[in-house]
Amino acid sequence: METLAGMEGYEVYERSRRRAGSVELALVRGSGGKYLYLSRALPGFEGEALSDGGLLCPLTYGNAKALVEIVPEFKPRRLPEGPSFGFGDRIGMATPGHIRAVRDTHVFPVLAQQSVRENARTGRTFAEVLADAVFGALQEGYVGGFAADADHLKTIEDALEAAELGYTLFTCDPSDHVVPAEELSEKELRRRFDALPQRKELEREYFGKTFEIKGLGRLWFSELDLMRAAVKYLRAVEFAAEMYRALAEKLPRGFDFEVSVDETETPTSPLEHFFVVQELRRREVEIASIAPRFSGSLEKAVDYRGDLEVFRRDLRAHVAIARALGGYRISLHSGSDKFSLYPVFAKEADGLFHVKTAGTSYLVALEVIAKRVPDLFREIYKFSLARFPEDRATYHLTTDESALPSPDALSAGELPQLLAEPNLRQVLHVAYGSVLRGPLGEELRKVLFEFEGDYAAALEAHLGRHLELLGVRE
Ligand SMILES: [Zn+2]
């Protein structure tokens, strides 16, 4: 990296150099962190005035917002046609590696993607997540466009906050409103169905009708099917429609909307998928994607555990319905590293897919730490082990704790390989918030800043493998 004229102690990220009118700008790196450099102060930017008339700006949301006003290529945008891929970044330092992974592919990247739960755990905000993605794009000089996903939204307020900030993709998670109808007796099911104000209308819409789905055949609802689908999902549909209407009012120029029911107790059957989307359509909700809950187990941090043929059969049905009802994407919330699923997913979804990853980029960061500062890795592992009983609570995990290696017994040379061990990956994976919020997170960020080339290269290789298996490499 070169230094900037008149800027002692700062190096320039060469790819970031650009011009906006008569102003030169670049991302620079000092000993304490990164800054946005402007050759002349401009309205909207805040920073330290330099003796040459320039401005050195911290990487805040306010400065990111001012930047996208003068360089609109860095502004998040809607998803184009074709496959898309979400690169969640829990640390806020992964975007350059994500961009390198996505170069030479035909997949549209979502570079800002965090859920409300992730932000609560890491102590970040939607604003910070977006700013980190924007400055990451600037660092790489990436002008190919990206989306920003406010993931797993459970309240209208959160959705509107993200809309205000400039997010473009809103993932509505109505799972709190999904009723586990499988557990109800037929009598109770009937009682609840009869109590629905929309009962008559639903019977008119669905009873005695068949729905021809190209590539799948005919769908029809038995009385029991309809009662179950309606009792299970109707409140969730109403909630999603309410969020959609609130967003439509706030963003009249358009936005992308995903409905995710992937965190419900039971797999989403094709018939239920059809019912949910049909009901959304009747409420004039246009979706970009739906995340069904798939059969089998998509546990965090490890590969898929389940019958691939069952997965394939269900997926085929979901894709056929998605094509028949408007051509939205099937979204796979991977929970990291579902490598065995990818080729099947890509083949069956045939370009109509979205994949989300997030924890995987955190684990890649830990690989860099294990190689560069083994003692810090050991500390993080010890801490994650201690946190495990509490941090695992909101996840479905079958971790075998007896198989976990003791952190003290490990030599530095063994650490990188150790990260392939599934039980250990899960322990590390779920503790991310506890680590990143505390003093270890501070240390981790320092090391990643010092070895940022390592982190970008490791992300490029690891996420490149994801994209390779999805068949989107050129
Ligand atoms: Zn999800």
Q: Could you confirm whether 151 is annotated as catalytic?
A: yes
- Report the pLDDT value the prediction gives residue 297, as an integer from 0 to 100: 73
- Report the pLDDT value the prediction gives residue 301, as an integer from 0 to 100: 65
- Report the pLDDT value the prediction gives residue 420, as an integer from 0 to 100: 83
Taking the centre of ligand 1 as the mean of its atom positions, its distance from the CA of residue 376, in whole angstroms, is 30
- Report the pLDDT value the prediction gives residue 351, as an integer from 0 to 100: 87
- Report the pLDDT value the prediction gives residue 6, as an integer from 0 to 100: 62
Q: Could you confirm whether 443 is annotated as catalytic?
A: no
DSSP 437: H
- Report the pLDDT value the prediction gives residue 78, as an integer from 0 to 100: 98
User: Which contiguous run of DSSP H or E holds residue 272?
Assistant: helix 270-282
Taking the centre of ligand 1 as the mean of its atom positions, its distance from the CA of residue 232, in whole angstroms, is 19
Taking the centre of ligand 1 as the mean of its atom positions, its distance from the CA of residue 90, in whole angstroms, is 15
Tokens of 309: 């043929």
Q: What are the angstrom distances between the C-alpha of 340 and each of 90, 298, 307, 418?
A: 24, 11, 11, 21
Taking the centre of ligand 1 as the mean of its atom positions, its distance from the CA of residue 333, in whole angstroms, is 5
DSSP 179: -
Q: How far apart are CA 372 and CA 320, in angstroms?
A: 48
Taking the centre of ligand 1 as the mean of its atom positions, its distance from the CA of residue 345, in whole angstroms, is 16
Q: What angle do CA 291, 387, 337 make, to 5 degrees?
A: 35
Taking the centre of ligand 1 as the mean of its atom positions, its distance from the CA of residue 292, in whole angstroms, is 9
Taking the centre of ligand 1 as the mean of its atom positions, its distance from the CA of residue 328, in whole angstroms, is 17
DSSP conformation letters of 376-412: HHHHHHHHHHHHHHHHGGGS-----GGGPPPGGG--G
Q: Which of 135, 115, 106 is nearest to 333 (CA)?
A: 115
Q: Of these residues, 149, 158, 258, 314, which one is catalytic?
A: 258
Taking the centre of ligand 1 as the mean of its atom positions, its distance from the CA of residue 260, in whole angstroms, is 7
Residue with tokens 């009249």: 252
- Report the pLDDT value the prediction gives residue 1, as an integer from 0 to 100: 54
Buried b (16+ CB within 10 A) or exposed e, 362-398: bbbbbbbbbbebbebbbbbbebbbebbeebbeeeebe
Taking the centre of ligand 1 as the mean of its atom positions, its distance from the CA of residue 171, in whole angstroms, is 9
State the distance between the two ends of the chain, measured CA to CA, in whole angstroms.
29
Q: Alpha helices, DSSP H only, in 251-373?
A: 270-282, 308-324, 342-349, 359-372
Provide the β-strand partners of residue 234: none
Taking the centre of ligand 1 as the mean of its atom positions, its distance from the CA of residue 369, in whole angstroms, is 27
Residue with tokens 């609840």: 192
Per-10-residue mean pLDDT for the chain, 474 residues long?
Answer: 68 95 95 94 95 94 97 97 96 98 95 96 97 98 97 98 98 95 94 96 94 95 96 97 98 97 86 97 97 81 79 94 96 82 90 92 96 94 93 81 82 80 89 96 98 98 94 86
Which amino acid belongs to residue 456?
A
Contact yes or no for 239/154 (Cβ under 8 A): no
Taking the centre of ligand 1 as the mean of its atom positions, its distance from the CA of residue 262, in whole angstroms, is 5
Contact yes or no for 331/289 (Cβ under 8 A): yes
Taking the centre of ligand 1 as the mean of its atom positions, its distance from the CA of residue 15, in whole angstroms, is 34
DSSP conformation letters of 204-268: HHHTT--EEETTTEEE---HHHHHHHHHHHHHHHHHHHHHHHHHHHH-TT--EEEEE-TTSSSPP
Q: What is the 3-state secondary structure (H, E, C) of 140-178?
A: HCCCCCCEEEEEEECCHHHHHHHHHHCCCEEEECCHHHC
Taking the centre of ligand 1 as the mean of its atom positions, its distance from the CA of residue 223, in whole angstroms, is 31
- Report the pLDDT value the prediction gives residue 165, as an integer from 0 to 100: 98
Q: How far apart are CA 184 and CA 179, in angstroms?
A: 9
**Ion ligand 1: residue ranges with CB closer than 5 A:** 262, 333
Contact yes or no for 299/397 (Cβ under 8 A): yes
Q: Of these residues, 89, 132, 149, 151, which one is catalytic?
A: 151
Read off φ and ψ for residue 84, nearest 5 degrees. Answer: -135, 160
**Domains of the chain in sequence order:** 2-58 (no CATH), 73-180+207-359+465-469 (3.20.20.70), 366-453 (no CATH)
Taking the centre of ligand 1 as the mean of its atom positions, its distance from the CA of residue 334, in whole angstroms, is 8
